[in-house]
Each structure stands twice: as C-alpha cells, then as structure tokens.
Amino acid sequence: MSATSPARRLHMLLRPTATSASNFFLNKSFNGQFTAVVGLSSSHKVDQQYVSWTSTRRNYSTKRDDVVDVKEVIIPVPWGHIAARHWNGSDPTRKPILCLHGWKDNAATFDTLFPLLVPELPQYQFLAIDLPGHGKSSHFPPGMIYSVQDMWVAIRRILKHFDWKRISIISHSMGSQISFSYSGTHPEVVEKLVTIDALSPLVLSREETISMIPKLTSDILKFEHKLATGTRPSYSYDDIVAKLVKTHVGGLDAASCKKLMTRGVEEHPPGSGMYQFTHDIRVHYMPVTGISSRQVSFIARNFKSDILNIKATEGVNYTRPYIKTRIEDWLANGEDGKPKGNLVRFVDVEGNHHLHLINPVSVLPYIVRFLDHEKHHVQNHLHQKKLRAAHDKNFKN
C-alpha cells in the first residue's frame, strides 16, 4: 500500500458533512505550520477541530520592516471632519478596504494588526477611520444623538470623497454590526466583509426596548448638560489607563488601552497633566438602536459579499440564539434554499473581545487567507469533496 500524503490524511480525518462543508479552509499559521480548520456553527454542537503539520514556510509573526506608508487623513463632512489612518494608500489604484472599530474605540484598534497584515496584502489600501464622535473625528452638533443609521451615511460620504465604487470592509464589534447592515443593503458595493467578534445588529426583546427608551431619553439630556457646562471628568494619566482597563467592554490589558489612548484621550487643559476621553459621551447609547430578527434575516439573505466572521472564544455574545443558529444559512443561501455563490466562513479563535488588538497573530492567518487566497482553497476543497463522493459511490456499488 502506498503511503498516504499528510494532505490526504487530513482530508480523511476532517471529512466534513454536507452542512459544514462550506466552512472548511486551510490556513497558514504563524508558528511555521499549516492549520486546517473546520468551523461549525453552534447548531452542529461540535467543537472546532485543528490539525497541523510542520512546514518550512516563513514565520510571518515577526513585524516586517518593509511596512508600506501610513498617514493621517482628514475627510471633510458637514459638521466637521472624519479622521482616519490610511495604510498603503499612496497608490490610489490599490483595492480599498474600509476598517471600522468598535464602540468607544477608534482607528488605533488596528495598530497592532496592520503592521503585520498590510505587507501580506500589497494589492490593498486600508482606511481605518475614527467613526463620528470617536477618536479624533468631530462630534455631532449640540442637540443631536448618534445612531447606526448615521454611520451608514458616513460610509457613503467616505466612498464619495475617495470616489470608491467598490470596497471590502474589516470591522470589529459595533463596527461589524454597522458593516453587516451596510453590506447586506449595498451588495453591489461591498465585495468582502471581515467581522471580528460581532456580526448582526443588536436584536432587543420587548422588555429591553420598553426599559431602554425611557433611560435613553433621560440620560441624553444629562449628557447634553455635561457638555454644555464643561463638567466632563478629567483624570491623571495613570487613573485614565486604570479606568479604561476596568470599564472597557470585553477586557483589555494596559498595553492595549494605551494603544487606543493615542487617539482616545487628550490632555485637558493642555499642559495640566489631566486627561479626558475624546469620544462624545452621547455615543453611549448608539449600539442599542437594534432591529428585529426578521430584518436581520432579510439583510442576510440579500448578501452577495464574501464574509469571514471571526468569533472570540472568550468574546462578547451579542447574537440571539434564534439568529445564531440560522444566520450562516441566511448568508449563504437564497429564499429558495439554493447557494448564492458567495463565500461564508465562520471560525472560532482563542482570545477575548479585542483579540485582534491584544494578539493580532491569532486572527492574521484567517484574514490573509480570506482576502488573498480563499477562493483557491475553496475550489480545491470542492474538488476533493467531489472525489470523495465518487469514491463513496463506487465503494457502495
């Protein structure tokens, strides 16, 4: 009997079912190995499986010295500006990727990932923005409140500013909820979507909606009073680091907090040694503008974009069980149950809600493969699936 190759043994071991086949792909890991992943949705009740074998590939986890250019850019908008960091943007012909951060974060959430990611994908330019009311971007005028709908309009403004007709998106947390709805309602615009530890917008129960609205209307007026009277609290540097570590959703270490603080705090007044957060306190209620589960299904069914959803094993669970068990099907198949032809990838990665910031190499191989080589591996897997089906048929006969 001839020796079986490692790849063949792998395919035999991880033989996917018909329902899970769409979630299989190979990944180049960052310890000099390849990793094969079968990502199964929660409805399958099966843990994710990993099998590795040694490879002589270069170790990509080391920070590259040939990182392409990165510069600060300002995008004018009617109420002020949207601030951003533009990676690899010197050549406007490179394919654009818009990058959206999470709630009360800013563009610095990608500052540990992109020095590794950008050199691997030289065909792309990456625009990491501070969403309105966050980071170095302008706040809305007095009397206004923030909503997810405003963020959709901000995306359109950015596309118009750069004259981009088609984009891909990398997003985290609240940014993923924004990009999910935008991608599903603008399928001709978004080619590929990467979401990190979130996906669909919040779906609130009736009880949550009833209790949330009175609190929102009361607290917004309190926030406006603070803004008008200048009574927003200030902290010493050490205290504001400690406060961010203690209160940040999903858990952050001090080093990661300091990364976000490069855009997320400012000395106020200058030279005082006291600091304030730069985000508008009115964004506190922005993520609670949820939609219904039926609306989520309609948006997902309308998807044409390829999508990679990275779920942190110790992350924040935003998704209702009803949606969690169905959303992969909604994204991949039409109302008639037939595949739409887009790639849908769900993977679990060890880490907490900010795994892309704290340990960027944990998500890096998934994103590189998805944006660069994914179709090749999917086509190869489908070919292998056909060969296995033919083998099974012949064996039964």
Report the share of the chain in percent with pLDDT over 70.
76
59: closest CA among 104, 113, 120, 6? Answer: 120
Q: What pLDDT is stored for residue 49 in this prediction?
A: 29
Distance CA 234, CA 269 (A): 9
In the sheet that holds 167-172, the strands lie side by side as 70-77, 80-87, 124-129, 95-100, 167-172, 190-196, 306-314, 344-352
Q: What pLDDT is stored for residue 388 in this prediction?
A: 54
Tokens encoding 242: 């400690």
Q: Evaluate the omega torsion of the peptide bond into residue 269 and state whether it is cis, within 30 degrees of 0.
A: yes
The conformation of residue 337, written as its DSSP 8-state character, comes to S
Give residue 161's pLDDT band: very low, low, confident or very high (50, 70, 90): very high
Q: What pLDDT is stored for residue 67 in this prediction?
A: 54
What pTM does this model have? Answer: 0.79
Give residue 298's pLDDT band: very low, low, confident or very high (50, 70, 90): very high
Q: What pLDDT is stored for residue 47 in this prediction?
A: 29
Q: Please, what is the end-to-end C-alpha distance for the chain in angstroms? A: 22
Residue 18: what are its φ and ψ, rounded to 5°?
Answer: -60, -35
The residue extents of the domains of the chain are 70-201+293-382, 211-285
- Model pLDDT for residues 190-220, shown as the tens digit of each residue: 999 999 999 988 888 888 888 888 888 889 8
- Model pLDDT for residues 28-70, shown as the tens digit of each residue: 333 333 333 333 333 322 223 222 322 223 354 445 545 568 9
Distance CA 25, CA 164 (A): 30
CATH number at 70-201+293-382? 3.40.50.1820
318: closest CA among 102, 173, 180? Answer: 173
Hey, which residues are catalytic here? 173
Give residue 3's pLDDT band: very low, low, confident or very high (50, 70, 90): very low
